Structures are given as C-alpha cells and as structure tokens.
Chain A
Amino acid sequence: MAADSVNKRLQTELMQLMMSSTPGISAFPQEGNLTRWTGTINGPEGTPYEGLTFKLSLEFPSNYPMSPPLVMFTTPMFHPNVDMAGRICLDILKDKWSAVYNVQSILLSLQSLLGEPNNLSPLNGQAAELWDSDPKEYKRLLLLRHRSGDA
C-alpha cells in the first residue's frame, strides 16, 4: 500500500478527531511524524480510573488500515489486560482488527476496556485477581502505579 494513502487516511482521521472533539479522548501526531501519534484517554466515570488521565502511543504500519496500529500505554498502567510495559491485550488490536476502525474507535474501545476488563485472559494476574476481590487494594496499587509516572 502506498505511503501517501496511509498519510492521507491519517490526515482525514486527524481532521475528524479534531473537528468532532469526542469528550474524554484525544490524539495528535508526534512532532514531524504522521505515523506516530500520542493519544490521551480520561478514565471513565464510575470506575477506579475516574479522574485519571492516561497517555498512549500509537504507531501506524505502512499498510494501515489493513493492519492495526501498535498501541501502548505510556503512562504506567494497572489493569488486567495491560502488562507492566504498557502492552495491551485487546482483540480489535490483534486478530479482530478491521480496516473500518480508526483512532477514535480504538481510543473509545480502550476507554471502555478500562471499566470492563476481560479477566479471563489477563496480562496482569494481580490486577485481574484484585479487580473482584479487593477494589480498595486495586485502587491503591493503581494510584501507586499512576503516580510513579509523574516522578
């Protein structure tokens, strides 16, 4: 797939993201490189993540949108489906990817993943265990992780 078609599509997505301004999510290309973006999602209300902001990096392959972008949390994350390096286990970023998805739908899916983890196939076993058994400890560890990113 030609590079210009990737760039063109990413430009369109950027324009749409900026014009439609979905609350709670945002994304913008990193300096001078349209194929690497930084995304931000706000923790959804009514979840342990409420009030926290998380940054992500999105890296688009040269045959995007036929292949999914590589998405990672850059803010330290405590979540059953995110490992300690920020790698995310989400089906639509792997085998369930479809060319009709875009940055907006990825960020919205990730936002909802925060509130509804898939505890059956965890990347972070501790988080998966605590999610149901000990919400207080979960929240404490989450805040500890999140604060470690500020330092």
Chain B
Amino acid sequence: MAESTATDPTDWDGTNLPFISSLDAALRCEVCKEFYTAPVMTNCCHTFCSICIRRAFNNDGKCPACRTNGQEYQLRRNTIVQDLLDAFLGCRDKLFHFATKEQDSIFRDERESTPSNPQPSSQSQRPRRRAAAAAAAVKLSDDEKEDLQPVEPAPPPDDGLVACPVCSRRMKVDAINAHVNKCLDNPVPAPSAAPASNPALVTPAVRQLRSTRTATRSGPLFERLPKLTYSMLKDKQLRQKLRELGISDAGSRKLLEERHTEWITIWNANADATYPKSKKEMLDALNSWERAHTRPANNKTKLADWSDDNWAAKNSDDFSSLIEKARANAKRQKIEKVEMEPDSFRKETASAPVPRLSASWTETAIGPSSQPPISAQPNIRNAGMSFSPQPTPSIDAHIDHHPHAQPSVLPTESLMGAQPNGGRPLLRTQPSVTMSLQYHSNLPHVPSMYSPPSQEHRTHAPSQSQPQSRQLSSSAYSSASTVPVTVNINDKRKYESVE
C-alpha cells in the first residue's frame, strides 16, 4: 500500500483526534507493523499479513502472537479486515487533514462557545441541523460527488457547535470526541449524511462490487502452489521444478530450496490478496529477497578497511615472482612441445603461448597481474568467514580464548602471521581456512553471523579475573548458548550463519 508507507499510529497523537490512534494501530499487522496486506486469520484467530504469517510459519511453525502451532493450509482470508482497512484508508487522509488543519477553527469555536453557550440551545439546535443535513443528502443523492464540498456550510453557523467530520452533525465541543469515535465505528446512526460526506464508507453495494471483482481477479489467476518435500527430490528434479515455475535454478542446493520456499510464500500470499500483484512484481520481490539474502555473506568476507589495490600492492613482489616462474615454466614447456609436436600443433601453441596442461593455472596467475590469484580466493569466499590476508582481531580472539581451538589453530596463527610478507600467500591461505573451519565444527554452537566472534569468545577470558565464579558461569554460558542449536526453530538462522 503506497499511501501507508510513511504513516504510523502515533501520527494521531497531538491532533484533534488522538483516539484514532488505536483504530489505526488495530488495522496494522503485528509482525511488519504496516497496514495489513492480504490479511489472513490463523486457526488461533489472530490476523496477520499473509506473507508475514507464512514466513513466520516457515520459520518456526508457531503463531507469533500466542505461539500456538499452526500451518499454512489453515490460514483463511480475513475479508472483513480488508474491508475495514479499505474504508479506513479511504478516509484516513481526510480525517488527518481534519485532525490537523482544522485545529484552529475548532479552538476558535471552543473559545467562542464555552463561555456563552447554554446547554438548552445546543439541544434545540441539533434536530434542526440534522433535518438540514438530511435535506441536503436527499438533494445530493442525484448530484455528482463534486457537489459535496459546497454542501458543508462554508461559514459555520454561529451556534457554538462543532460539526462531526464523519456525519456532519453539529454538537457541543465536549461531546465531539466521543461522538466521532462512535460515528466511525458505526456510521448507521446518521444515515442521512454519512454516505454523502464520507464516500469511503463501504455500502453494501460497494461491497457487492468488490466481492465480485475479487472473485474474478484472484480466483482462477493465482492458484496456490503446493509445498515440496525437498528431501524427496534430487537436485535435477528440483531445478526442473524451479524452471517450471519460471524462476532461476542457479546456486547451491540449499539456495535452491530456500528460493523455492520464498517463491511459494510470495505466490501463495499473493493468492490471498484482494488486489494481487502481477507475476513481474512477484519476481521483483523474489529478486530483492535474493539480494538481501546473499549480501551479508559477501559483505562479511571483506573488512571495512580492505581494498583489493592495497592487497595487490602489498603482495606485488610475490605476484611478480610467481608470474615470472609461470612464464619461465610456460616457455620451457613450449620449447619442449615445439620440439615434440608435429607442425599442425606448432601453429596453435605459437598463437597461444600457454601450455595445455597448466592452461587454467597460468591464465589466472598471469592474466590481470594486479589481482590476487583467483584459485585461492573462491575457497575463502565460500567459507563465509571474516577472512583477510592479515590476521584479524576476530581470528586472534578465536585462537587465544577457545580451549578446543588450541591445537588445530596454532599452526594457522603462525601461517597467518607469516603471510603478508611470506613467500606464497595463495598456497598458505588454503590450509589456514580449512583449519579454521575445523575449529568451527568443534564449537558447541555455530557463532551466528551477526555476533562478532571476538565478543562471543571473550566470555571465557574475563572469568580468569573471577576465579570463584568461573565454573558456574562457563557452564551456564554453554547451556545458554546451545539453545539456538538444539531448538529447531533456528534452523534457518543457523544456516545463514554458516553461509
């Protein structure tokens, strides 16, 4: 809902109609805190946006409001909430306009009325006013909506009363708040003016119209998609399914499954929508999910002060020596081959001075000489750890403080330390990464991606200054920190952290 993006229930605080705040809040999803999009009800009778509750069920299978177990197939569209929302959004801007702009005039009325206005006059005025409004409404019913504005009496009669923004009935200032509340909840008491002054209120006719439109739009167009049991599918079959759905089939098995789940979620949530999105919009949503989903892992491999150029400059000696060796090697092999091969092959090797056997290696090493050798790089990326050629503080923390880590990581440290000026960084990065990964699997839990490892493991360090509490605190620590692993609701998070 475009118009609802920058709004909030607290908008109403400090206006003439602060009590609208609770109505505004009641029409918002508890999960995303926005106005409902395709509201659906769970079997425990809580209402959420379709996509929010589907994601929540995918995550832990529980209702976010009451933790009752629930499943997607139990969700039912909550059409009355959609109607209420449409009605409210239809008049929200006008209400807000009234609540802020007209403040001065209301205060003026108040100032004028309160001292001089006796009770009886207001009571005597009201029926008259209502009759007038009724007459106006009758006259209006034949006219166009543009005529609505003039009907509102431009110069308010000097009766010391205020007009209700919903039904235009005039009443004492003291009574207006309670009245508007009632009026908004139940517009029937003032049938004369309500339809005219508030076109957004849903009349039965409008509802009829909407329900037929809904039926035609969302019925046959968007059939809900079934979930898949991924463990029953081979990679090839799963890719086939993704292609059939018209979405990308690239990436790891895990990513394929997650992409499929997300697409089913987006698609089925859209099937609940009164105003469904097009397939293109859904694909855009999936792409933006994918970008957000894969970005953190990529970001993490690069430190804030990391730059490719610096790295290249620092290790330029290594690179140039490697390149020289590779060239020499290539030359030597070329000479050997030229001597051995027949003429037909000689042409080919002459045009491409790269020997066949080691072609891929020399290409990456010689190619863009300022780049670090790519052969070692992808492994680091895939490891998904904050890794850099320099020993980082986080890795130091791992080494220093974790008891399990000591034997396997010590060599890592020495390698890492030797690396920046050491002979061949690319050869040494490989074992060091493997070892850190090993170390990770030793951990009682996988550090989540958003917890800096340095802090994670500092927990052990300070307890040295507190000898008497060490035993207790470390055991409690481990019991607390194993929770994310043992509880299966965190499967997703676990995965993300590993990735």
**A residues whose Cβ falls under 8 Å from a Cβ of B:** 1-6, 8-9, 12-13, 15-16, 19-20, 59-63, 65-67, 70, 72, 83-87, 89, 94-96, 98-100, 102, 121-126, 128
In the complex, the answer to whether B462 meets A62 with C-beta atoms within 8 Å is no
Q: List the A residue with the shortest CB-CB distance to B287.
A: A2
In the complex, the answer to whether A83 meets B459 with C-beta atoms within 8 Å is yes
The 27 listed contacts between A and B (C-beta, < 8 Å) are A2-B289, A3-B291, A8-B34, A12-B8, A12-B34, A15-B8, A61-B493, A62-B292, A63-B492, A65-B31, A65-B32, A70-B450, A84-B459, A84-B473, A94-B483, A94-B484, A95-B489, A98-B65, A98-B67, A100-B30, A100-B31, A100-B65, A123-B473, A125-B469, A125-B473, A125-B476, A126-B469
Give me the 4 closest cross-chain CB pairs, A-B, nearest first.
A125-B472, A19-B10, A3-B292, A84-B462
| A59-B450, A85-B462, A126-B469 given; A102·B480 CB < 8 A | no
| A122-B472, A123-B476 given; A84·B30 CB < 8 A | no
Q: Is B116 an interface residue (CB 8 A)?
A: no
Q: Is B296 an interface residue (CB 8 A)?
A: yes
| A19-B8, A66-B55 given; A122·B459 CB < 8 A | no
How distant is the Cα of A84 from the Cα of B487 in the complex, in angstroms? 25
| A2-B289, A4-B288, A84-B463 given; A9·B33 CB < 8 A | yes
Report the minimum CB–CB distance from B358 to chain A (whole Å): 41
How distant is the Cα of A123 from the Cα of B479 in the complex, in angstroms? 9
Report the minimum CB–CB distance from A90 to chain B (whole Å): 9
Report the minimum CB–CB distance from A138 to chain B (whole Å): 13
In the complex, the answer to whether B295 meets A3 with C-beta atoms within 8 Å is yes
In the complex, the answer to whether A123 meets B477 with C-beta atoms within 8 Å is yes
Q: Is B448 an interface residue (CB 8 A)?
A: yes
In the complex, the answer to whether A2 meets B55 with C-beta atoms within 8 Å is no
CB-CB under 8 A from A4, the residues of chain B are: 288, 292
How distant is the Cα of A94 from the Cα of B292 in the complex, in angstroms? 23
In the complex, the answer to whether B458 meets A102 with C-beta atoms within 8 Å is no
In the complex, the answer to whether B289 meets A100 with C-beta atoms within 8 Å is no
CB-CB under 8 A from B493, the residues of chain A are: 61, 63, 67
Report the minimum CB–CB distance from B214 to chain A (whole Å): 25
In the complex, the answer to whether A2 meets B285 with C-beta atoms within 8 Å is yes
Report the minimum CB–CB distance from A55 to chain B (whole Å): 15
Q: Is B414 an interface residue (CB 8 A)?
A: no
In the complex, the answer to whether A1 meets B8 with C-beta atoms within 8 Å is no
What's the tally of chain B residues with a CB closer than 8 Å to chain A? 53
Q: Is B97 an interface residue (CB 8 A)?
A: no
Q: Is B13 an interface residue (CB 8 A)?
A: yes
In the complex, the answer to whether B32 meets A9 with C-beta atoms within 8 Å is yes
- Beyond the given A59-B451, A126-B466, please list 15 additional residue pairs across the A-B interface where CB-CB is below 8 A: A4-B288, A5-B32, A9-B34, A19-B8, A61-B449, A61-B493, A63-B496, A65-B31, A84-B459, A99-B30, A99-B64, A124-B473, A125-B476, A126-B469, A128-B472
CB-CB under 8 A from A59, the residues of chain B are: 450-451
How distant is the Cα of A102 from the Cα of B9 in the complex, in angstroms? 15
* Contact among B295, B466, B468 with A84 in the assembled complex (CB-CB below 8 Å): B466
Q: What number of residue pairs across chains A and B have CB atoms under 8 A from each other?
A: 134
CB-CB under 8 A from B32, the residues of chain A are: 5, 8-9, 65
Q: List the B residue with the shortest CB-CB distance to A102.
A: B33
In the complex, the answer to whether B52 meets A99 with C-beta atoms within 8 Å is yes
Q: List the A residue with the shortest CB-CB distance to B55.
A: A66
| A15-B10, A95-B483 given; A1·B31 CB < 8 A | no
In the complex, the answer to whether A123 meets B480 with C-beta atoms within 8 Å is yes
In the complex, the answer to whether B469 meets A89 with C-beta atoms within 8 Å is no
How distant is the Cα of A1 from the Cα of B31 in the complex, in angstroms? 13
How distant is the Cα of A63 from the Cα of B293 in the complex, in angstroms? 8
CB-CB under 8 A from B67, the residues of chain A are: 96, 98
CB-CB under 8 A from B459, the residues of chain A are: 83-85, 87
| A59-B450, A66-B56, A94-B483 given; A85·B473 CB < 8 A | no
Q: Is B59 an interface residue (CB 8 A)?
A: yes
Instruction: Encode B54-90 as 1/0 by CB contact (under 8 A) with A.
Output: 0110010010110100000000000000000000000
Q: List the A residue with the shortest CB-CB distance to B476.
A: A123
Report the minimum CB–CB distance from B428 to chain A (whole Å): 32
* Contact among A15, A84, A100 with B64 in the assembled complex (CB-CB below 8 Å): A100
How distant is the Cα of A96 from the Cα of B56 in the complex, in angstroms? 13
CB-CB under 8 A from B59, the residues of chain A are: 63, 66-67
| A66-B56, A70-B450 given; A19·B13 CB < 8 A | yes
How distant is the Cα of A98 from the Cα of B13 in the complex, in angstroms? 27
In the complex, the answer to whether B10 meets A99 with C-beta atoms within 8 Å is no
Report the minimum CB–CB distance from B279 to chain A (whole Å): 17
Q: List the B residue with the shortest CB-CB distance to A64.
A: B450
CB-CB under 8 A from B496, the residues of chain A are: 61-63
CB-CB under 8 A from A121, the residues of chain B are: 476, 479-480
CB-CB under 8 A from A9, the residues of chain B are: 32-34
CB-CB under 8 A from A125, the residues of chain B are: 469, 471-473, 476
CB-CB under 8 A from B472, the residues of chain A are: 122, 125-126, 128
In the complex, the answer to whether B473 meets A62 with C-beta atoms within 8 Å is no
How distant is the Cα of A123 from the Cα of B459 in the complex, in angstroms? 10
Task: List B333-382 residues whose CB lies under 8 Å from chain A.
Answer: none
How distant is the Cα of A3 from the Cα of B65 in the complex, in angstroms? 23
How distant is the Cα of A66 from the Cα of B67 in the complex, in angstroms? 13
How distant is the Cα of A9 from the Cα of B288 in the complex, in angstroms? 16
Q: Is B5 an interface residue (CB 8 A)?
A: yes
In the complex, the answer to whether B466 meets A2 with C-beta atoms within 8 Å is no
Report the minimum CB–CB distance from A54 to chain B (whole Å): 17
CB-CB under 8 A from A61, the residues of chain B are: 448-450, 493, 496
Q: Is B100 an interface residue (CB 8 A)?
A: no
CB-CB under 8 A from A84, the residues of chain B are: 459, 462-463, 466, 473
CB-CB under 8 A from B52, the residues of chain A are: 99
Q: List the A residue with the shortest CB-CB distance to B56.
A: A99
In the complex, the answer to whether A72 meets B5 with C-beta atoms within 8 Å is no
| A9-B33, A98-B64 given; A72·B455 CB < 8 A | yes
